[in-house]
Structure 1
Amino acid sequence: MKILIADKISGSGVQFLRDQEGVEVVEAYGSSQEELEGMVADVDAIIVRSASSVTKAIIDAAPKLRAVGRAGVGVDNIDIEAATDRGIVVMNTPGGNTIATAELTFTHLLCSARPIPQANALMKAGKWEKKAFQGSELYKKTIGILGLGRIGSEVAKRAKAFGMNVLAYDPYLTKARAEQLEVNKVELEEVFEKADFITVHMPKTETTKNMLNASTFAKMKDGIRIINCARGGLIDEDDLAEALRSGKVAAAGLDVFVEEPLSSESALREHDRLVMTPHLGASTAEAQENVGLEVAESIYESLMGGWVQNAINAPSIDPKQLAVLRPYLNLAFKMGTVIQQLTPSEINHIRITYSGNLVNLEVKPLNRAFQRGYLRKITTDVNDVNAPRIMDRLGIKGEIVQNSLERDYTELIRIEATDSNGKSYSIEGTLIGKSQNPRLTLVNERNVESPLDEKYLLVLENEDVPGIVGMVGTVLAKHKLNISNMSLSRNTVGGIALNICGLDSEPEAEAIAEITANKYIKGIRVVNLNGA
């Protein structure tokens, strides 16, 4: 096997590969894209950092290529679509920088409390202005940590060591995990109300973009201190600059920005109480050592046919098995995103039952597909390999059953999710027709017939009285929302009925509020299937 290392990684990573029998290592540091293209004709794997790109041209020039590894997190320099079309696995190393980023966060936290950089600058300028640099202690102060994933959890441990009171906001953090970390799980508004320091460790998604802004700053204590070493765009930079100018925010620390490099015209550069670093989260010798060795081990494991660590695209599945499983992978993925959007955020247990002909198939790929679907709106860094770890981190226990259910379908997948209060939620799904279209056949023990190739599903629970269907149709028409499909179900006459409407576009808040205002509506959810 021939492995080309295009960008310099740690010596331990290179040595690991050289120590493996039958592996030839080519170190091509500093090569141009054209030179790389001419080197890959007989290459089995390519390792890069950020300097080199694995373009479609390079992929097309590498007929033997089976794996691409990025020693780092971002994979913008790899053409994932072209790699996937060729069946080439792409992997990164998201775990190697955990400690480095957590420690940088705490460095910024300390600098926001004690103005060390500012005092140092004046000392270097020959001044002695002791009174100008009074700080604040961390001891017994309250820190709000937004996002308790790998890095947020490490920050929490360090905050506890400093004697801080830790408030944790994460919609998917379970009570058990919070107790394990010895943090107080709270709602976002409580963080804004009580925190003296706030640090952000969430992925950038539609719901987290600019989550700290002028309106949220207004809810915080005067003199709040803000840290962001996660993703640019989680904080509205213009609003932060104004909050620093007014004194609402006493100090801040940023390692990431909306645009990088940061513009020389940025208003952030005006504030001496803002400490900025140029995206140094993973810039430690140890982190680079970790990611270099990790990517080397993952590449070798992949080439040897093992389970791929931190795959960005789908892991390798036997072609014959993939041909059988492919439509069910899509069904499992869609069912994962549906159940996640129909249930409360704090789910403790999920049971998946495979029935009919699925009893005799290898269902591990289906489990991973379901987990990816479940996590797609929770995190942006999920793949078939790390999905189980993320589910574990969320405190969600899984149970897999292969047992035929008494249903009128040849194959069926049943999902049962249980929340912390013991309440159960269920859906069932199958494939319909020669085209094997995915369908929901049951929601919370009510039989339905709802296609899963819609863009949005409006899921209503209402008292079983006349006029509800007409009311819903009228409201949706008023707001120019087209219904592509409707499925009605009830268990008892006069009980609680279920209505699922397939929609071509997402209903706005006004439409939802108008439907909810009807006294017979008992529950409403919008399921986003775009991208599923």
Structure 2
Amino acid sequence: MATYRVLVSDPISEKGVDALRSAPDISVDVKTGLSPEELLTIIGEYHGLVVRSQTKVTPEVFAAATQLKAIGRAGVGVDNIDRDAATDHGVVVMNTPSGNTISTAEHAFTLMASLARNIPQAHASVIAGKWERKAFQGVELFGKRLAILGMGRIGTEFAKRAQAFGIHVVAYDPFLTAARAQALKVELAETPDIALTGADLVTLHVPLTPETKHIINAKRLALLNPGALVVNCARGGLVDEAAAKESLDAGHLGGIALDVYETEPPAADFPLFSAKKTAFTPHLGASTAEAQENVGIEVAHQLRDFFVTGEIRNAVNMPNLDSRTLQSAGPYLDLARSLGKLLSKIGPEQSDKIRVSYIGPVSEIDTELVTRSVLAGYLSAAYHEAQVNLVNAPAIAKAHGIQISETSSSLATTFTDLIEVSVVKGGETSTVAGTIIGKSSRIVHIAGHYVETNPTGHFLFVENDDRPGIVGVIGSALGSAQVNIANMSLSRNAERKTAVTVIEVDEQPPASLLELLRTTPGILRVLSFEL
């Protein structure tokens, strides 16, 4: 019987479905066209979900999807998936940003060329039996100034096509560096307003966020040259459609082409339908045979690898955990989770802060995932959060009022690599630390004591006065209770005149043994826990 069940609720390439089914641990059900009620009824049976834009994954869906671990979106936009709810429920959301790159760039450029030469209007005139050559005089793209807002994959491909037509490209993207702009041979604009000022052509390739909603508004339309053309094949809502209609009617905006709309499909009385120089398509940016197949295959591979190898690629609500990251950060993830669990046992309850320090070569990797693993271990043990994982750990920590801080230093100490984790409550601090020696991970510091023990198993932690005979008492008590010792580490703190014994045992010690040790003179603290 398959370990994981995946539901494909929107149509994807058959090759994509076959790729999912190629994994023996995954069973796939293709059920498209489900109503919201039908989806709610069955989603609790599945560990994975594949969607395009039709299926709406709402908070109610996540509440019902008690086994759901990952959603794959065959396409770029994830507006139909409630990302906050996904994160709260610990569900990874992955999209496929590269599968439809070429198709969307080509579609946007086709719309721009169609606007420039009045293709839709001329076509309608000819098939109506007219021959109005003078009515449809167009403009050349050559030599025009193009503003591209968003220089990701699609924006970059659009720029290449524009440059081939002799268009001067000005680009705005908050993540576009001067060096990258120079390599792409585009002029870098520091703000959208600078990019749009004096532009003859505009194309949008940014996600829809509160910051980008109506990024093209009345004020910015006024910055464009008279007769400018605007194309939006990205997300509905980037263009203020009412402002665009006013600018068209006033004769300032020369034309607009839309593949996406604030409301899809647009109503029959959509105001822009009455404007003269327009071009409209029904969300066709990714609608090529090649793109449909590519995104279906890509999302299938991502979901398959998530369940089979643990890789996370193109996630939109957490850092990626691809093969390269797994190779560099993977060995530290289990150690970090154990350190978090251990700290929940020996540290103060209801802590205010968690501090994670990376010392040595470990500081040079992307440590965000490792910190998330610390949080997941701590929260699962301290607050009994059964569903906490790498996705939702920061959000759950925030909900509990826990502040997270992270520091890194490349200077090695006693250990070549060291992860040190502390919890703070008021003036009280508890610290644990671990390292990796060769291929083995070890816990090397617990609450002010240097120790050496495994990061997994059943443990007894005994803190006692530093005086002769205590270790013998502990050993005798374990022997009498028939508890076998697998490993033992001793440490003393001469300053505090205390010592600790960390004992790895084969099974969970009985409550009677713990009570006996706690009532033994000289023993200050006894903890039993599993890592």
Q: Provide TM-score, normalisation by structure 2.
A: 0.60
Match of residue 103, structure 1, among 101, 106, 110: 106
Range with greater deviation from structure 2 (137-146 or 31-40): 31-40
Q: How does 1:75-90 map to 2 (within 5 A)?
A: 75-78=78-81, 80-81=83-84, 83-90=86-93
Deviation digits for residues 235-256 of structure 1 (CA, Å, limit 9, x no counterpart)? 2222211111121111121222
Alpha-carbon offset, residue 181 of structure 1: 0.9
Cα 1:359–1:285 change in 2 (3 A) is: same
Q: Which amino acid aligns with 2:208?
A: K
Name the structure 2 match of 1:366.
367
- Give the letter for the 1:121 counterpart: A
Measured after TM superposition, the shift of residue 81 of structure 1 is 4.9
1:107 deviation in Å? 1.1
Structure 1 alignment gaps of length 5 or more: 327-353, 371-382, 385-399, 413-429, 438-532
Task: Give the equivalent residue in structure 1 for 2:380.
Answer: none
Mapped partners of 2:30, 2:427: distance in 1: 47
Q: Which residue of 2 aligns with 1:321?
A: 336
Query: Equivalent of 1:215, from 219, 228, 238?
Result: 219
**Cα distance, 1:233 vs structure 2:** 2.8
- Counting only pairs closer than 5 Å after superposition, residues 51-130 of structure 1 correspond to structure 2 as 51-54=54-57, 64-78=67-81, 80-81=83-84, 83-130=86-133
Unmatched 5+ stretches in structure 2? 322-329, 342-354, 372-389, 392-407, 429-531
Q: Tell me what 2:510 maps to.
A: none
- The residue aligned with 1:403 is 411
| 1:434 corresponds to 2:435 | no
Residue deviations 1:117-174 (CA, integer Å, cap 9, x gap)? 0001011111111111111111222212122121111110000111212122234321
What's the CA shift for 1:434? Answer: 2.4
* 8 Å Cα contact 1:355/1:404 also seen in 2: no
* Alignment of structure 1 residues 182-221 onto 2, 5 Å: 182-187=185-190, 188-221=192-225
Give SS of 2:170's match: strand
CA distance in 2, matches of 1:314, 1:360: 23
Q: CA deviation at 1:218?
A: 2.7
* Inter-partner Cα distance in structure 2 for 1:33 and 1:214: 37
What amino acid is the match of 1:123?
V
Change (3 A) 1:262 1:15: same
Give the C-alpha shift of residue 85 in structure 1.
4.5
1:230 aligns with 2:238: no
Q: C-alpha distance in 2, partners of 1:132/1:74?
A: 38
CA distance in 2, matches of 1:243, 1:29: 41
Number of matched pairs: 364
- 1:431–1:228 distance in 2 versus 1, CA, 3 Å: farther
Shift of 1:260: 2.5
Deviation of the 1:223 alpha carbon: 1.4
- The 5-angstrom pairing of residues 8-23 of structure 1 reads 8-23=11-26
Indicate conservation of the 8 Å contact 2:20/2:28, yes or no: yes
Percent identity of equivalent pairs? 43
Query: 1:362 and 1:149 mapped to 2: Cα distance?
Result: 29
Q: CA deviation at 1:29?
A: 2.9
- Name the CA distance, whole Å, in 1 between partners of 2:427 and 2:83: 27
Q: Distance in 2 between matches of 1:322 and 1:79?
A: 28
Query: Quick one: structure 1 residues 401 and 11, their matched pair in 2 at CA, closer, same or farther if it must change by over 3 Å?
Result: farther
- 1:57-456 equivalences under 5 Å are 64-78=67-81, 80-81=83-84, 83-187=86-190, 188-314=192-318, 321-322=336-337, 324=339, 358-359=359-360, 364=365, 366-367=367-368, 402-403=410-411, 433-434=424-425
Distance in 2, Cα, partners of 1:356 & 1:63: 34
Q: CA RMSD in A?
A: 3.8
Larger CA Rg, structure 1 vs 2: 2
Alpha-carbon distance between aligned partners in 2 of 1:278 and 1:436, rounded to the nearest angstrom: 61
How far apart are residue 297 of structure 1 and its match? Answer: 0.3
Distance 1:195 1:403, change over 3 A: same
- Contact residue 192 and residue 216 of structure 1 kept, 8 A: yes
CA–CA separation in structure 1 for the residues paired with 2:60 and 2:194: 51
- CA contact under 8 A between 2:147 and 2:169: conserved in structure 1? yes
**1:10 Cα shift?**
0.3
